Chains A and B, each alone.
Chain A
Amino acid sequence: MADNTKKKKTSVKAHTRRVPVSDKNPSGITRVRKHDRIVQGPRLGKADLLLILKALLTENFLRPTPDNLGYRSGTAYDDQIGAWTHYFNKAFPPTPPESPLDPDLVKALIASESGFVADPQKNSKALGIAQITRQTLKTLLDPLGESRDFTFKQISLKDLKDPQIAIPLAVRWLFQKKILATKRLGRAPTTEELILQYKGLLGSTSDYQKSALGNFQKHFDRLKRQKKADR
């Protein structure tokens, strides 16, 4: 499988930093010159994603349940969802007794976010099939930010309209949300808590939060029932 895990450098712009007040720095502010920083983890660009996907599709992995959930494109992305869930489950292996991320969870999430609409033309705030926001993209591209252990590069907002780019970013973001939810809760999140964390609703006390979770669960339960029936 193609991978890009060699240590790379990134350039940090000159910036100011707060330091303890001293004779040398009576203002408590010092200036840090532009310098290089080692990038902690893999950093994938568009071409990397397409190459990795091509290789992944030759492997055995668990795909989501092949139910279209009532959407014309409901099964169109099953291979990509399965492939990237498999990839990131290997990149971020679960700590037992936790289970790996379920591709049906990813599929149900996408159904609830966009109804599998890859390019909702008028929405410029959250883009693509997984409704990734500008802020989320910025975080995923930042080699020094909260998701620095696995980031992406040279991906624009416009690229998110391509499911081949949006899906791996969404799955990676789910893993980041799992880390954040674990820190917040002091334990591994349940499926429902993970979805609420992804939607930014974990701490919300709104009526909408309950409906949004119910909407996801409806899709997820359908996939699980169908999987059971298919056996």
Chain B
Amino acid sequence: MITKNFLVSLFVTLLPACSHYKLVKANEYWREVLVAPNFITATCEDVEDQEIKKTPGGRFGFTIYFINERELADPVIQGNVLDEEDCLKRKKAVEAMQRRGLPIQLRIHGSEDDSKASEREITFAHGRRFRVSTGVYQLHAFWNDVGDCFDSQFEDSKPCPYDR
């Protein structure tokens, strides 16, 4: 069955590469980018220090990767380590927005554009692999045009995104 998501994915995949990414606004500290849903992925990585006592609830680092205009995966992290529940909450919020098939806007702290490709690669939807950039970015919030929004600190409370 041809779904809306399939059509959006096909559309985005067949267009010139830069159509999956748009810089919406930027200043010297932060920027907002609009990314096609299949060019974003979110991970919850176990960051437990093996030499210290296990933390109840676990310790996880949340990272969103999105493909920039140079076809590199920019890593955008939640600045503080989370427990598994809070990390998965964020991952699920990204996945829920992806299922809408609409572009996702991210507000991120860090506007440098001199990052290079690292040795690391990450897999996105449809098995496509991209090199991870050396950029370092901190997540403020992500949202779409139909009112879904998730702030790194305030989660889905309104107003979202929270104006820092």
Contact = CB atoms under 8 A, between A and B. Distances in A.
Interface in B79-97: 79-83, 86
A5 interface: no
A71 interface: yes
A113 B80 contact: yes
Contact of A135 (B49, B50, B55): B55
B49 A114 contact: no
A94 interface: no
B83 A125 contact: yes
Interface in A54-69: 69
A115 B162 CA distance: 11
Contacts of A72: 163-164
A97 interface: no
B49 A202 contact: yes
B45 interface: yes
A226 B14 CA distance: 45
B162 A117 contact: yes
A111 B153 CA distance: 12
A211 B61 contact: yes
Contacts of A214: 136
Interface string B40-69: 000001111111100101010101000000
Given A73-B164, A211-B75, A211-B136, A131 B154 contact: no
Contacts of B63: 207-208, 211
Given A72-B163, A115-B140, A121-B157, A201 B109 contact: no
Contacts of A154: none
Contacts of A117: 153-154, 162, 164
B86 A125 contact: yes
Nearest to B82: A125
A187 interface: no
B52 A115 contact: no
Contacts of A126: 80, 82
Interface in A195-217: 199-204, 206-209, 211-212, 214-215, 217
B91 to A, nearest CB: 13
Contacts of B157: 121-122
Contacts of A116: 164
A200 B164 contact: no
Interface string B120-153: 1000000000001000111010000000000011
A131 B132 CA distance: 28
A29 to B, nearest CB: 24
A184 B47 CA distance: 18
B77 to A, nearest CB: 5
Nearest to B50: A203
Interface stretch (B1-9, B15-23, B25-33): B25-33
Given A122-B155, A123-B153, A201-B81, 8 more contacts: A72-B164, A113-B79, A114-B153, A122-B156, A199-B80, A200-B55, A207-B61, A214-B136
Interface of B: 27-30, 45-52, 55, 57, 59, 61, 63, 75, 77, 79-83, 86, 109-110, 120, 132, 136-138, 140, 152-157, 162-164
19 contacts: A112-B79, A115-B109, A121-B154, A123-B153, A125-B82, A126-B82, A199-B80, A200-B49, A200-B52, A200-B59, A201-B49, A202-B49, A204-B48, A206-B47, A206-B61, A209-B47, A211-B63, A212-B61, A212-B81
Interface of A: 69-73, 111-117, 120-123, 125-126, 131, 135, 184, 199-204, 206-209, 211-212, 214-215, 217-218
The 8 closest A-B pairs by CB, nearest first: A70-B29, A208-B61, A214-B136, A120-B153, A203-B49, A131-B80, A122-B155, A203-B51
